[in-house]
Amino acid sequence: MIENIKNCTGCHACYSICKNGAITMDADKEGFLHPVVDYKKCNKCGECLKVCPLLKKRKLDKSKNAFAAINKNYNTRLKSSSGGIFTILAESIINNSGVVFGALFDNNFNIKHDYINNINDVHKLQGSKYVQSTIGNSYKSVEKKLKENKLVLFSGTPCQIDGLLSFLKKDYKNLICVDFICHGVPSPLVWKKYLEEKKRKYNSKIHKISFRNKNKGWKDFSIKIIFKNNLEYIKKFRDDAYMKGFLRNLYLRKSCYNCQSKGLNRKSDITLADFWGINNILPNINDDKGVSLVILNNQKGMNFYKKLERKIFSYKVNIQDGIKHNSMATKSVDKNIERENFFKEINQQSMTTLINKYCPPKNISLKQRIKNIIKKLLKY
């Protein structure tokens, strides 16, 4: 459907537009969903090609503003990945009888896109989820809600926003699109195998997962898994195998290494991110509990944000300062040279063993090695 399948983001736009049901989204051997065409059902209308965002030119909107932002509700901020701004956006939509679409865990802790319309369910969409979510029929649901004149907020990766807007084919005044600065999306298959390994080790099903637990601080966050037998697994992001493989780009989707949705030329109304480097820009607001970078990509985004500023500690910043330590805003990650070898062995070893094999400890300085030796000696 697109010239090179490795560029496919799995956005579901072609699947959603096909009225004959000729397109399904099937997982490849790496666990990523791709469109598959049943040519017996296909009437060659070409709608799938017209809707593919990779085959469209991006339009530039230069009217952007950036802010360092913190939710004034301290408890909400602690539960959020960064400054807790998404929660304010979502609650505003729901309080106006609208619906909010985003990535959430299903009963098996797979990540899927769905919507909420109850203020008590906002927590389901809070926090980062470092796995590619399955869009399913969300684009169709968004269209239905919009045509019912519902206020809709759709949050997702930049490529998912591209797919949605391409599918809708028109601008809706009652739609707010929120994306984030994306590192890349890891394989759902790797995530599934990782969780299966953890359940076997702890001999229990999972009760709750947090990718960005901030008990030890925002910059030094941990992944935390609570099991139904009340046992807990918690490790700092740099020590957990899954997070280590993710951050070293070992099992990201192929399109992530040449992402077509990168840059400040975004189709979303609002872009959210961690404001890394805030200690250099506005050190007085950095308490290590999380600060959001908010980029308003157009007037619609600006108008929406301004209505909510009474709930936010908001500081206007230069957009280049905002992305200085967020390089993923404008460039794709480098492909891990061991990626293919990793996937060849994905069924041969445990996830932790395999990830550690291809993500060995980075070289440490002589000073750090001496410190480690001294620590060991002090134990005796």
- DSSP class per residue in 292-319: EEEEE-SHHHHHHHHTTGGGEEEEEE-H
Residues 6 or more apart from 258 whose CB is under 8 A from it? 7, 332
Integer Cα distance of 296 and 294 in angstroms: 6
Please name the CATH architecture into which domain 5-55 falls.
2-Layer Sandwich (3.30)
Query: pLDDT at position 216, please?
Result: 87
Query: pLDDT at position 88, please?
Result: 97
Whether 6 and 255 have beta carbons less than 8 Å apart is answered as: yes
Q: What is the mean pLDDT of each run of 10 residues along the chain (380 residues)?
A: 73 96 96 95 94 78 84 94 96 97 96 97 94 97 98 97 96 97 96 97 97 91 96 95 96 95 91 95 94 95 96 96 92 96 94 95 61 52
Query: pLDDT at position 61, please?
Result: 58
Query: pLDDT at position 263, please?
Result: 87
Per-residue pLDDT of 176-226, as tens digits, reads 999 999 999 999 999 999 999 999 999 999 999 999 999 889 999 999 999
Integer Cα distance of 351 and 106 in angstroms: 22
Query: pLDDT at position 371, please?
Result: 60
User: Residue 236: is it exposed, middle or buried by C-beta count within 10 angstroms (0-12/13-18/19+)?
Assistant: middle
Tokens of 284: 């007085």
Q: What are the residue ranges spanned by the domains of the chain? A: 5-55, 61-380
Please report, for residues 128, 179, 270, 375, the alpha-carbon distance to residue 300 in angstroms, rounded to integers and kept in the order given.
25, 14, 9, 55
